[in-house]
Amino acid sequence: MAVVLNVSPSEKLLQFRAMVRVVSKSHAGMMPNQARQVLLQEAEALELDSMDVRRVLGMYSFAQESWDRWVTVTEDKFPRWKVLPNQPELGTYWRDLRTEMEFVWVPGGEFEMGNLFGGGFGNEKPVHEVALNGFWLGKYPVTQEEWTRMMGSPPLYFKEGARYPVEKVSWDDAQLFIEKMNAEEDGRFRLPTEAEWEYAARSGGRREEYAGSKDVDAVAWHNKNSGDAVHPVGTKAPNGLGLYDMSGNVLEWCQDWFEEEYYKKVPSANPKGPVKGSYRVLRGGSWDSAPNYVRTVARNYWEPDNRDFYTGFRLVRNAS
């Protein structure tokens, strides 16, 4: 039976998360139904909000399996989403209690990566099939307030306000933030791979030229509508997964090294980019980009130490 202490709701939730983590690790990442029921009783005794309990259990109660169970969403078309025991439901959110950063569950699946729409640039082709495991992705780009909560001080540049995305951060700066995030999370946070980024931007691999719409103005801040300035996150419409600002507002760093001809030799399963390079991938375009550059398939790149005034990032949290 749980011992209910005189603590705040957030402290109770941290206490519950610690219990779940211990049980999950003791069972190698899988949560037996009996253990899950006991934890639900503990959560009830702690008087936790049912949605918070669902989010915590969703993070620690499933494990990856082999790619042998699928459900086809549309016949003979992409995406095909992977079915896993105890996988979080589509539309499930998870919140980091230290930063209040929200993450959206992106179901694993297969999709056709690259330029399906015509136009664009040569490095967006050839179109190729990619298969990905499921992952959690930040609902928004990392914001000024989230940066400050984790790093202990505001970012160096562009202090517009709490809900504005961080800007003028290099790939190297993003790694320092991730290192802080991982101090208590066993290395589970990272930047998305380029394939994960495009799959998520296209609402799980749909044929979307912009992230969630054919109308660029509905989903993106770009150089024709931004007023030459960055905007608070979440002020345009989300895509089909509930992710905001995947097109426009700030360019987003990916984990991969960039290579111009990489699409000609990319592995089909969970590609992680070239093994070395001089530039890191950026995706999504920014408030300073022409609409052609905020397309979901448009690729950009810069040196890892480059701090341009419209570069930001969002995080992945590994499923297990």
Q: With cut-offs at 50, 70 and 90, classify the pLDDT of residue 26.
A: low
Does residue 3 belong to any structural domain of this protein?
no
Residue finishing a domain among 60, 79, 103: 60
More confident residue, 51 or 129: 129
Looking at the fold, whether 109 and 180 belong to one and the same domain comes out as yes
Does residue 4 belong to any structural domain of this protein?
no
Looking at the fold, whether 297 and 187 belong to one and the same domain comes out as yes
- Spatial distance between the Cα atoms of 281 and 256, rounded to a whole number of angstroms: 6
Exposed e or buried b per residue across 207-236, where buried means at least 16 C-beta atoms within 10 angstroms of its C-beta: ebbbbbbeebeebbbbbeebeeebbbbbeb
What is the total count of domains within the chain?
A: 2
Looking at the fold, whether 245 and 304 belong to one and the same domain comes out as yes
- CATH number, domain at 118? 3.90.1580.10
- Through-space distance between the first and last CA atoms of the chain, rounded to whole angstroms: 28
- For the stretch 105-162, pLDDT in tens is 998 889 999 999 988 999 999 999 999 999 999 999 999 999 999 998 887 776 678 9
Percent of the chain clearing pLDDT 90 (strictly above): 60
More confident residue, 71 or 85: 85
Q: What is the dihedral of CA 134, 139, 141, 144, to 10 degrees?
A: -130
Looking at the fold, whether 290 and 177 belong to one and the same domain comes out as yes
Looking at the fold, whether 48 and 104 belong to one and the same domain comes out as no
Looking at the fold, whether 49 and 80 belong to one and the same domain comes out as no
Looking at the fold, whether 38 and 82 belong to one and the same domain comes out as no
Q: With cut-offs at 50, 70 and 90, classify the pLDDT of residue 93.
A: confident
Which residues span the domain enclosing 30?
Answer: 9-60
CB 204 within 8 A of CB 79: yes
Q: Label residue 76 left, alpha or beta by phi (over 0 means left) and psi (-120 to 50 means alpha).
A: left
- For the stretch 214-243, pLDDT in tens is 999 999 999 999 999 999 999 999 999 999
- For the stretch 66-79, pLDDT in tens is 222 222 233 333 34
Looking at the fold, whether 222 and 107 belong to one and the same domain comes out as yes
Looking at the fold, whether 191 and 248 belong to one and the same domain comes out as yes
Looking at the fold, whether 158 and 286 belong to one and the same domain comes out as yes
Q: With cut-offs at 50, 70 and 90, classify the pLDDT of residue 32.
A: low
Does residue 65 belong to any structural domain of this protein?
no
What pLDDT was estimated at residue 53? Answer: 79
